Chains A and B, each alone.
Chain A
Amino acid sequence: MNSMERVLMAMKGGKIDRRPVTLILSLYGARLTSCPLKEYYTNPRAYLEGQLAVIEQCRPDIVFTPFVLTAEGEAFGSEVVYIDRNPPNLKKPAITQAGSISALPEPDIDSHPRLLYIREATRLLAAGCQGKRPVAATLLSPMDLPSLIMGIEGWLDTILFDPENTRLMLDKTVKYFIEWGNTLLADGATFLVIPSVFTNPNILTRKMVKEIVIPVLAEAFQEIKGPLVFHHGSNPIAKFMEIYSSLPNVAGFFLDNRDSFAEARKTIGQGKVLFGNIDGPNLWRLKPETIRTECRKLLEERKDDDHFIIATSATDVAFDTPVENIVAMVETVEEFG
């Protein structure tokens, strides 16, 4: 089986030759090619070269399009700062007041340079993988994108105290999400990964999640013409799975490294893929042998789960992670079968 066949079969729950494995190595490609980060996150060919190096040296079964969510904020007028050894960070949101939402310009997906960068990187990566390896495209949920347009506090304040402007913002982000998600699929992404923070009862109240968030996600997700994978963002989600279980087009969930697969599986049932839960950003802290032990333990625990893909959770594997650590994870899975 090649990686595409293996991953798609795991998503269907069919027989596979071995467990699929992936790490979020979007950033890591820059390390492998010694590419300056500004170049890496603005030049699609530089990104492709980095990901081809990732494939050659790390052998993940899934590769990712640029995990540079701030680019979506830039498309709406926010400013970012490029920092050493990390993806760019939000510096200045496009707006700070809810009253400015109505005048917020909507980005043109066919002409905005930041979106064109991601689109071209997606096309090149899909072509480079030749249908043998899935390409996962990351994009923000319509509930989360506003935090990169008006800042976390501005968006939280709006959701809590200004229902009219909340709806106005969500009308814009749902429309954009549908167009952007379908465009990435048309450009060659195999499926979409949706990091989600403002969808979690650790962030909003459970009542708000049920009454505001889930209807918005359902409205947006049902228009996407391909599979979605709901990503935990930075919070555990296993204990809240029943809230997300009815969302349309969701093929699976990335779990937090603190989550219990058993708890998530018990709630969500057998049909959805569960990804994770090796701690990606902290993989650099571990010795390769410790990584092997952790992976074997997880593989053993999930050996009867037909819909399980071992992966790193959270955000990118850190820039300074020794390549031996990454290879240790992949080799352990390859050996385990």
Chain B
Amino acid sequence: MPELNSTSSDRQKLKELIINADRNQANAFLDSLAVQSSYMEVIHVILEPVLLEIGNMWVKEELSLAQGYVSGKIAEDVFEKTIQAGEFKKERANSKGAVVMGNIEDDYHELGKRMVITFLRAAGWDVYDLGTDVMAEEFVARAIELNAPIIGVSAMMYSTANNVRKVRDEIDAKGLRGKILLATGGAVFNLRPELVHEVGADGTAKSAINSPQLFDRLLGKIK
């Protein structure tokens, strides 16, 4: 497969298109680069470094939710094209493994979780989305069944964040502390970071784009 002859100006151009929330132009631009090599090469050489930069800007509140959302949609679009081009199967040998994701009991706000799933899939995780209003027992049972080392639990509001503690308790009750790690996130955890500790989570990411780094870090902690 030919290597992509990419320059920093290509990355800068993609960054500007994302900042302008221009999904169509960004896709057209990435398509034109993929013709030179492959979508997988585009992901590794262009998209991933730009998303990392976008993620850092988002954490520093230099970008809006809309711009983060558009970057997720672009990643999703490229991911789909990678599958359609038959390139993705070759990469699955390098899968990082299974993770279980869902909105905690009583939480129905899926936007953040879906963005996280997009970025995790693009980073090579096999993500199993359990949906909304998921009970702690189901999170842990599915993680055991799928041999998933990490459970990702989303909660948007104060009213539901405390339910994440039930997943912690269930993991501990099954004697799986340190073997299955608990990642949590959502708007409320950005507002009150101390909640992450209070609910017993092992980590959080300040933005969806940064979630692959969190999951990599957690994977390295598994006993």
Within 8 A of B (CB), among A234-284: 234, 281-282
0/1 per residue, B8-19, Cβ < 8 Å to A? 000000000001
A203 contacts the other chain (CB 8 A): yes
B85 contacts the other chain (CB 8 A): no
Q: Would A161 and B108 be within 8 Å (CB), given that A202-B64, A208-B66 are in contact?
A: no
The winner among B19, B110, B133, B158 for most chain A CB atoms within 10 A is B158
Alpha-carbon distance between A203 and B69 when the two chains are bound, in angstroms = 10
Q: Would A153 and B110 be within 8 Å (CB), given that A160-B21, A161-B23, A282-B192 are in contact?
A: yes
Q: Indicate if the CB atoms of A156 and B65 lie closer than 8 Å.
A: yes
Alpha-carbon distance between A216 and B107 when the two chains are bound, in angstroms = 30
0/1 per residue, B114-135, Cβ < 8 Å to A? 1000000000000000000100
Alpha-carbon distance between A220 and B61 when the two chains are bound, in angstroms = 29
Q: Would A202 and B108 be within 8 Å (CB), given that A160-B23, A282-B192, A318-B158 are in contact?
A: no
Which B residues are in CB contact (< 8 Å) with A281?
A: 158
Alpha-carbon distance between A85 and B158 when the two chains are bound, in angstroms = 11
Q: Would A156 and B158 be within 8 Å (CB), given that A202-B61, A234-B187 are in contact?
A: no
Alpha-carbon distance between A28 and B46 when the two chains are bound, in angstroms = 51
Which B residues are in CB contact (< 8 Å) with A153?
A: 110-111, 114
Q: Would you give the shortest CB distance from B33 to chain A, in whole angstroms?
A: 22
Alpha-carbon distance between A250 and B13 when the two chains are bound, in angstroms = 40
A109 contacts the other chain (CB 8 A): no
Q: Indicate if the CB atoms of B106 and A202 lie closer than 8 Å.
A: no
B93 contacts the other chain (CB 8 A): no
Q: Would you give the shortest CB distance from B131 to chain A, in whole angstroms?
A: 12
0/1 per residue, A50-90, Cβ < 8 Å to B? 00000000000000000000000000000001010111011
A8 contacts the other chain (CB 8 A): no
Q: Indicate if the CB atoms of A152 and B106 lie closer than 8 Å.
A: no
Q: Indicate if the CB atoms of A203 and B64 lie closer than 8 Å.
A: yes
The count of residues in chain B whose C-beta lies closer than 8 Å to any C-beta of chain A is 26
| Complex: chain A residue closest to B115, CB-CB | A153
Q: Would you give the shortest CB distance from B103 to chain A, in whole angstroms?
A: 11
Alpha-carbon distance between A157 and B65 when the two chains are bound, in angstroms = 11
| Complex: chain A residue closest to B61, CB-CB | A202
Number of A-B contacts (CB under 8 A): 67
Q: Indicate if the CB atoms of B64 and A205 lie closer than 8 Å.
A: yes
Q: Would you give the shortest CB distance from B108 to chain A, in whole angstroms?
A: 5
0/1 per residue, B133-173, Cβ < 8 Å to A? 10000000000000000000000011110000000000000
0/1 per residue, B49-71, Cβ < 8 Å to A? 00000000000010011110110
Which B residues are in CB contact (< 8 Å) with A92?
A: 108
A38 contacts the other chain (CB 8 A): no
Q: Would you give the shortest CB distance from B137 to chain A, in whole angstroms?
A: 18
Q: Indicate if the CB atoms of A86 and B159 lie closer than 8 Å.
A: yes
Which A residues are in CB contact (< 8 Å) with B157?
A: 86, 89
Q: Would you give the shortest CB distance from A82 to chain B, in whole angstroms?
A: 10
Q: Indicate if the CB atoms of A81 and B108 lie closer than 8 Å.
A: yes
Q: Would A89 and B158 be within 8 Å (CB), given that A156-B66, A160-B69, A205-B67 are in contact?
A: no
Q: Indicate if the CB atoms of B158 and A203 lie closer than 8 Å.
A: no
Which A residues are in CB contact (< 8 Å) with B187?
A: 234
Alpha-carbon distance between A292 and B20 when the two chains are bound, in angstroms = 45
Alpha-carbon distance between A94 and B124 when the two chains are bound, in angstroms = 34
Which B residues are in CB contact (< 8 Å) with A44?
A: none
Q: Would you give the shortest CB distance from A139 to chain B, in whole angstroms?
A: 19
Q: Would you give the shortest CB distance from A232 to chain B, in whole angstroms?
A: 12
A217 contacts the other chain (CB 8 A): no
Which A residues are in CB contact (< 8 Å) with B133?
A: 81, 91
A201 contacts the other chain (CB 8 A): yes
Which A residues are in CB contact (< 8 Å) with B66?
A: 156, 159-160, 203-205, 208
Within 8 A of A (CB), among B93-118: 106-111, 114
Interface residues of A (CB under 8 A from B): 81, 83, 85-87, 89-92, 151-153, 156-157, 159-161, 201-206, 208, 234, 281-282, 315, 318
Q: Which 8 A-B pairs have the closest CB atoms?
A: A86-B159, A153-B111, A203-B65, A152-B111, A204-B66, A83-B106, A91-B108, A281-B158
Interface residues of B (CB under 8 A from A): 19-21, 23, 61, 64-67, 69-70, 106-111, 114, 133, 157-160, 187, 191-192
> Would you give 24 A-B contacts (Cβ < 8 Å), ordered by A?
A81-B106, A81-B108, A81-B133, A83-B106, A83-B159, A86-B159, A90-B108, A91-B133, A151-B109, A153-B111, A156-B66, A156-B111, A160-B66, A161-B23, A202-B64, A204-B65, A205-B19, A205-B20, A205-B64, A205-B66, A205-B67, A208-B66, A234-B187, A315-B158
- Beyond known contacts A157-B69, A161-B23: 10 more, CB 8 A cutoff: A81-B108, A83-B106, A89-B107, A89-B108, A92-B108, A153-B110, A160-B70, A201-B64, A208-B21, A282-B192
